[in-house]
């Protein structure tokens, strides 16, 4: 056998060997039943259970003073004194300004003298009327003379009344030269100084006093929310604890909780057509004057109690392109199932679900990106603090506002 024939023989033998190996491998592959199956994805679930929760509404509002009094002069004159410190506390009746009283003292003295003069004319007129009555009874004088005496008496009595009223007016005007605080509270800055001219009932107030303990907090509320609240109350899904007024809490501008609770004073009876809202007015104690008029706050109002609330973590809810809320569940056969739900509001980091879920449902919270409806899954309990949970490290979209 030459070299060429030996090479051809060797190549044929190698080909037969490779073919045999391939056929053997295919047989083994067929016996194994195809490629190995991928394991079911692992998902973390929460089992829905009813809870008792207090339903609250958080409303933006403004603080306003309990009482506000603008101080204006009621008589004209030159200001002689200012007797308060700007920004200090005053009591009702405290003297704030003193207007020059000389002119009003003279007017009062004149009115007092006029009253004395008219009172001096009254006794003679009364005695004359009494004497004429006796004389007319015995026909000693005419009836006309008696009638004239009675008329003179009544005129003298009227003159006394007019003079007394004039004296009282002068006394009141004299008292108005001392401008006093109409209410107790904190006084603001003064718009006038000593020597300025005060004009009776002028448009610009001298200063303003505000009572700051307690204070009002006025917060607008949507009329749609009011209708929803009434509907929930009527259906029994919300109840009220007792018959007391609704309690209200406050959050200050820096998110600090205000330590004292307030109560709902009243709600307005008219809806503003431009905003479709009405005003909730609440009242808060303010002994340290922490709350100042005009301050922005957030009022947390207790609407009621839901005894059978269904809450799930917010990452368990997604949205379709139309904005409808969706939840991915695990059914009894450990397969994924997508379900449309309705949510009412966010409570902490959870959604309050009103429709679409029932107690005992298993909602996928983590790992939902790895499954599709109908796919088999491996279920593990959801642990919010576990770092190696399914889907840990994956970014989840921000929760949209409940509609």
pLDDT beneath 50, residues of the chain: 21, 23, 25-32, 387-403
Task: Kindly write down the DSSP assignment for every residue of 179-213, as one continuous string.
Answer: EE-SS-EEE---S--TTPEE-TT-SS-SEEEEEEE
CA pair distance 326, 400, nearest whole angstrom: 12
Q: How much is the pLDDT for 1?
A: 52
Per residue in 337-356, pLDDT (tens digit) is 898 998 887 888 888 888 88
Total Cβ atoms within 10 A of residue 273 = 7
Instruction: Please state at what angle helix 102-137 crosses helix 143-176, rounded to 10 degrees.
Output: 160
* Beta strand pairing call for 197-198 and 77-82: antiparallel
Of all residues in the chain, the percent with pLDDT exceeding 90 is: 36
Q: What is the pLDDT of residue 221?
A: 80
Distance CA(168)–CA(315), nearest Å, equals 77
Say if strands 42-47 and 378-381 run parallel, antiparallel, or are unpaired: parallel
CA angle (182 as vertex; 178, 185 as ends), nearest 5: 120
Long-range contacts of 381-388 (CB under 8 A, 24+ apart): 381/44, 381/45, 382/44, 382/45, 382/46, 382/313, 383/44, 384/313
Q: What's the token pair of residue 70?
A: 């603008």
User: Could you report the per-residue pLDDT of 299-326, keeping only the tens digit for each?
Assistant: 887 777 777 888 888 888 888 888 889 8
pLDDT at 140: 86
Note the pLDDT tens digit of each residue in 87-125: 999 999 999 999 999 999 999 999 999 999 999 999 999
């Amino acid at each position: 056998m030459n070299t060429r024939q030996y090479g051809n023989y060797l190549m044929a033998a190698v080909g037969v060997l490779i073919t045999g190996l391939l056929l053997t491998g295919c047989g083994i592959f067929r016996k194994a039943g195809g490629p190995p199956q991928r394991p079911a994805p692992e998902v973390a679930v929460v089992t829905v259970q009813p809870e008792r929760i207090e339903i609250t509404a958080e409303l933006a509002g403004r603080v306003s003073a309990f009482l506000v009094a603008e101080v204006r002069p009621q008589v004209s004159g030159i200001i002689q004194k200012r007797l308060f410190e700007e920004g200090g506390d005053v009591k009702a009746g405290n003297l704030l300004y003193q207007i020059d009283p000389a002119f009003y003292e003279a007017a009062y003295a004149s009115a007092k003298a006029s009253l004395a003069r008219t009172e001096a004319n009254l006794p003679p007129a009364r005695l004359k009327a009494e004497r004429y009555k006796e004389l007319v009874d015995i026909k000693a004088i005419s009836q006309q003379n008696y009638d004239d005496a009675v008329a003179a008496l009544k005129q003298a009595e009227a003159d006394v009344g007019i003079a007394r009223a004039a004296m009282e007016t002068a006394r009141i005007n004299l008292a108005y030269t001392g401008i006093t605080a109409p209410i107790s509270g904190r006084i603001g800055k003064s718009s006038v100084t000593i020597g300025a001219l005060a004009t009776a009932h002028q448009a610009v107030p001298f200063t303003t006093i505000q009572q700051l303990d307690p204070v009002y907090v006025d917060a607008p509320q949507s009329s749609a929310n009011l209708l929803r609240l009434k509907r929930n109350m009527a259906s029994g899904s919300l109840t009220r604890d007792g018959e007391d007024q609704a309690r209200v809490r406050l959050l200050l501008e820096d998110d600090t909780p205000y330590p004292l609770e307030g109560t709902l004073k009243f709600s307005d009876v008219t809806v503003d057509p431009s905003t479709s809202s009405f005003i909730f007015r609440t009242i808060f104690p303010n002994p340290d004057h922490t709350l100042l008029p005009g301050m922005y706050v957030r009022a947390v109002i207790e609407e009621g109690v839901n005894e059978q609330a269904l809450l799930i973590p917010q990452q368990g809810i997604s949205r379709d392109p139309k904005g409808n809320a969706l939840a991915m569940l695990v059914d009894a056969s450990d397969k994924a199932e997508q379900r449309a739900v309705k949510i009412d509001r966010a409570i902490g980091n959870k959604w309050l679900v009103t429709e679409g879920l029932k107690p005992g449902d298993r909602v996928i919270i983590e790992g939902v990106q790895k499954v599709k409806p109908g796919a088999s899954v491996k279920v593990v309990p959801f642990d919010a603090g576990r770092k190696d949970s399914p889907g840990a490290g994956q970014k989840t979209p921000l929760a949209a506002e409940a509609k």
